[in-house]
Amino acid sequence: MKTNAYINGKIFLIVPVILFLLYSCTQDKCEITRKKTTYFPRFLSWDSLRKPVISNPPMGLKNPGKIYYLPPYIYINEQLTGIHVVDNQDPTNPKLIAFYKIPGNVDIAIKSNILYADSYVDLVAIDISDPLNVKEKSRLKKVFPEPYSYNPDTSKGVFFEYDTKEELVTEPVDCDNASPKQNLYEYSYGNVVKSAESSPGGSTQNNSGKAGSMAKFSIIGNYLYGLNNRDIWLFNLNNSSLPQLESRLTVNRTAETLFPYMNYLFIGTTSGMMVYDISSPGNPSFVSQFNHILSCDPVVVEGNLAYVTQRNGSTCRNGQNQLDIIDLSDIQNPVLKKSYTMLNPYGLGISDSLLFVCEGDYGLKVLNVKNPMSVTIMKFITDMKTYDVIPLGNNWIIIGKDGLYQYDASDPFNLKLLSKVPVSGS
C-alpha cells in the first residue's frame, strides 16, 4: 500500500506538469493564413520577335489603339500585335485590306513609302509601296528600353508580361505577434514560361502622314522623333530605308505625346506641356513649359492657342478631368486662358475653331472654341467609345474601343456618320 501510494502520488504530480507543458507549447504555436501571389515572367523569343514583317490577309479589329493617315490609307494599331491597313478611297465604304504582324507595336509614322514601327525594343522600317506586298527594309535592334524596367533573363527574349498564380499559404508565427501580415509576392524567375507569340502629331510634312494627338512618333524634316518615358529619340532618315539613331534628348518629365506645329514641338507630359524649337530638327531646343498637377495630357495647337486635355485614372494619378486652353502669344511664357470641366478626356483634334474631344467611354464632344472664353458644346455623341481623332477638313477620323468611325462635320450641329468599321463581334 505504501508503495502504491508513493507511485500514485508521483503520478498526480507528473500529470499536471505534462499538461502544463503541453498547454504552454500549444499556446506558443500559432498559425496565420494569407494570400501568396507568384509572378512568372513570359518572354517572346528573339526569333519570334524578329520574323520579317509581311502582308497578311486582313483581320478584324479587336483591341485598336493609335491611328495614322496617309491617303488613301488609314493605319490602325492593333495593340502590341500589329497594324491594320484600311483602304479609305471611299470614306463611306472603308475596307480592311491587310494586316502587318508586328509584335509589341504601339506607334506608327510614315515617310516616302517607308513605315516606321516600334516592335518592343526594336525599330522596324517597312517598304509599303505596295500595301499588299510589304517588305521589311531594316531593323534597329534594342534601341528602345525593355517594356519592363527589369528583364530577369534577356537570353530568353523580350520580357513582355507576367503570368500570376495565387494560393493561400499557412505558416507558423509567434503567438505574441500573430496579427495579420501583408500578402506575399514572389517573382519566380527560375520557372519561366516558354517563349510565345506576342499577346493579343499633327502636321503632314515631307511626304509623311498625319497622326492623332496620342502619338509618340512624329516625323519632322529628315528626323523621326520617338518618345519613350523621359527621353526623345532622334533617328536620322536621310536614308529613309536605313534609319540611324543619332541622339537622345532627356526632357526630365514623364512625356506621353508629341504634336508638331509650325517650328515647334509640343510635348504632353503627366505634369504639363513642354515646348521645343524644332527649326533645326536635328537639334531641338527647349523654349518653355506650362505646369499642372499630375494627370495624362495630350495637346493640339491652332494659331496662338494650345488645347490640352487632362485626365485622371490608374496611370494618371488623381488629376483633373478638364480642357485647358493656353495662350501662346508669348511662346516663352504660355499662360492659361481658361479651363473647362470634362468627363474623362483622351485625344483631341482641332480644325478651324472646331474642337473634337474624345471622352473615352462617355463618347465624343464637338466644341466651338472660336471664343476661348466662352466655349460651347455643339454636339455630344454618347453612344460611342472614343480614344483619338484626326481632322481632315470636313472629314474626321475617330478611333475607340468599339471601332473606327468617320464623320462629315461640314455641319457641326448635325454630324453625319459616313461609316464605321466595328471591332470583331460588335
pLDDT tens digits for 366-386? Answer: 999 999 999 999 999 999 999
DSSP 157-206: -EEEEEEEEEEEEEEEEEGGG-S--PPEEEE--SSPPPP-PPP------T
How many other C-beta atoms can be found within 10 angstroms of the C-beta atom of residue 344? Answer: 16
Q: List the one residue out of 248, 232, 268, 255 whose CA is nearest residue 347.
A: 268
In this prediction, residue 13 carries a pLDDT of 47
Q: Please state the separation of Cα 189 from the chain's center in Å.
A: 26
The CATH number covering residue 79 comes to 2.130.10.10
pLDDT for residue 39 = 74
Q: What pLDDT shows up at residue 41? A: 77
User: Is 171 a member of any domain?
Assistant: no
The pLDDT assigned to 132 comes to 97
Q: Is residue 220 part of a domain?
A: yes
Asked if the structure places residue 122 within a domain, the reply is yes
Look at residue 190 in the predicted model and tell me its pLDDT: 42
* pLDDT confidence of residue 189: 46
The pair phi, psi for residue 307, each rounded to 5°, is: -115, 120
Task: Let me know if residue 190 belongs to a domain.
Answer: no
Under 8 Å between Cβ of 264 and 241: no
Let me know: does 226 contact 217? Beta carbons within 8 Å. Answer: yes
Q: What pLDDT does residue 20 have?
A: 44
Identify whether the C-beta of residue 118 lies closer than 8 Å to the C-beta of residue 243: no
Q: Whole domain around residue 388: which residue ranges?
A: 46-147+199-422
* C-alpha span between 406 and 408 (Å, rounded): 7
Give per-residue pLDDT as tens, 92-124.
999 999 999 999 999 999 998 999 999 999 999
**Would you write out the chain's pLDDT as a tens digit for each of its 426 residues?**
444 443 444 444 454 444 444 444 445 668 778 778 887 778 889 999 999 999 999 999 999 999 999 999 999 999 999 999 999 999 999 999 999 999 999 999 999 899 999 999 999 999 999 999 999 999 999 999 876 655 566 777 887 777 788 888 787 776 765 555 555 555 454 433 333 333 334 444 456 899 999 999 999 999 999 998 889 999 999 999 999 999 999 998 888 999 999 999 999 988 889 999 999 999 999 999 998 766 677 999 999 999 999 888 755 556 689 999 999 999 999 999 999 999 999 999 999 999 999 999 999 999 999 999 999 999 999 999 999 999 999 999 999 999 999 999 999 999 999 999 999 864
Matching residue, cell 490640352: 308
Please list the residues that pair with 322 across neighbouring strands: 310, 341
What is d(CA 86, CA 309) in angstroms, rounded to the nearest whole number? 28
Angstrom distances, CA of residue 302 to CA of 264, 276, 307, 349: 12, 16, 8, 10
Q: Which amino acid is at 349?
A: G
- Give, in degrees to the nearest 5, the angle at Cα 414 between 385 and 89: 70
* Domain assignment present for 26: no
Inside any domain, residue 3: no
Report the candidate in 385, 390, 391 with the shortest Cα–Cα distance to residue 410: 391
Distance of CA 116 to the CA centre of its chain: 17
- Going by the DSSP 8-state scheme, the letter that residue 314 receives in this structure is T
Q: Is 235 helix (H, G, I), strand (E, B) or coil?
A: strand
Tell me how far CA of residue 225 lies from CA of 121, 179, 189, 235, 388, in angstroms. Answer: 15, 53, 35, 7, 20
Whether 113 maps to a domain, the answer reads yes
Report how many domains make up the chain: 1
Cα(53)–Cα(127) distance, integer angstroms: 10
C-alpha cell at 310: 487632362
Q: Fill in the amino acid letter for 257.
A: T
In-domain check, residue 159: no
